[in-house]
Chains A and B, each alone.
Chain A
């Protein structure tokens, strides 16, 4: 219970800070919308079927915007030494990781929640909310978990803004491929059996990323 209370304390702290400044969320949402608008212009000129390419567009918007938030996740903690304040407390490093990962998951989900309706409006198409939402959530879990870990790694380097995408995107390729395939399947209303394999891969990578990041996090943040 103590572990969960500490996780919750970290999540509530991040949400309280974000609600006060709205810096992260506004940057992520605006960036995501800009990506959608740019793709919309590009594809309208070509007359492309958006149900075919839409999944790629959505995940480009999600990941590029998500990385903005992830980059700030530990940079802000490092700048003022507040992470050290947390590390001085008798708190399991796994609780710190889960708290930060959960905060990042919430921020990215809010950004996705703003992006999806605009995607539907811009492309004049309805969205199959089920199973689209579960697929997007599953993709976000792994992305937020590995992003949180690598954000902590990048925050310790001099080129942290550059390092995070360089580290995160290659590692996340299998997860993002699965998420794009599943999202595409949902947009094209394909039969579940066509995408079941990708769902297995996505869940596998979610579990792998969360477990690995949870165990490795301690070695990343300890001096």
Chain B
């Protein structure tokens, strides 16, 4: 039986008076690719940031494999590769210097060889000596993906990874995710590009107002049109409910029991 590589339990996160996540719970197993979809403000980025250890939840727990991220963050980080909205790169360093730097932070052996491998994987070998700020948005995104792959992580987290990628690079990313599935890793990615995202994923989690409203295995929708029917219903419901749903009234994460928060 495949083991869960990501376990998210009753995750709550609030920014001031507004809930970003409420009682989010799910698991992702080895070899699974899961798409995270939902309207703007649904909590996708916040969720990915918490799973990646960049942010801390108000309540709830995340495990990477058997590692609790709050208690053993650095162990969890060794197993996570993350692509966020920003490149995380140093503009004044070359692509090669950036990759070498991050490889040193991960304390990897044979760094020059590893840098060449990941650069070749994302097709930037001939641009390794270019200063990062001179690279196009798409090439910077490829560099970011190369950084994600540097330490061979078991868990890949990607926040809107198709942004700025041309078709060739987007196909390459799909290939990298498919490889991850085959190698027994797991992938959790958010996207607004439903056509591309749904084509590659095994499961889709639909979020709205900080909650998971649907967790659909591929068998639950026959094609893009079938999924869009479900998704359109969620979107219309989200717009009609307005924003009050996400406001922390009297109930805050500290003064409400976790089981009451759903």
Contact = CB atoms under 8 A, between A and B. Distances in A.
A10 B78 CA distance: 18
A13 B106 contact: no
A13 B97 CA distance: 8
Interface in A5-47: 5-6, 9-10, 12-13, 16-17, 20-21
Contacts of B104: 5-6, 9
Majority secondary structure, B binding face:
loop
A88 interface: yes
A104 B74 CA distance: 26
Interface residues of B, number: 31
A158 to B, nearest CB: 16
Given A88-B77, A223-B55, A13 B93 contact: yes
Nearest to A20: B92
A223 B131 contact: no
B16 to A, nearest CB: 14
Interface string A42-61: 00000000000000000000
Contacts of B93: 13, 16-17, 20
Contacts, number: 76
A77 to B, nearest CB: 8
Interface in B78-93: 78, 80, 82, 84-93
Given A20-B131, A222-B56, A89 B89 contact: no
B88 A88 contact: yes
Contacts of B87: 80-82
Interface string A140-170: 0000000000000000000000000000000
A5 B49 CA distance: 27
B56 A223 contact: yes
A85 interface: yes
Interface of A: 2, 5-6, 9-10, 12-13, 16-17, 20-21, 80-82, 84-92, 222-223
Given A13-B101, A88-B80, A90-B106, 18 more contacts: A12-B101, A17-B93, A20-B92, A21-B92, A80-B89, A80-B91, A81-B85, A81-B86, A81-B88, A85-B89, A88-B53, A89-B106, A90-B74, A90-B77, A90-B105, A91-B74, A92-B74, A222-B56
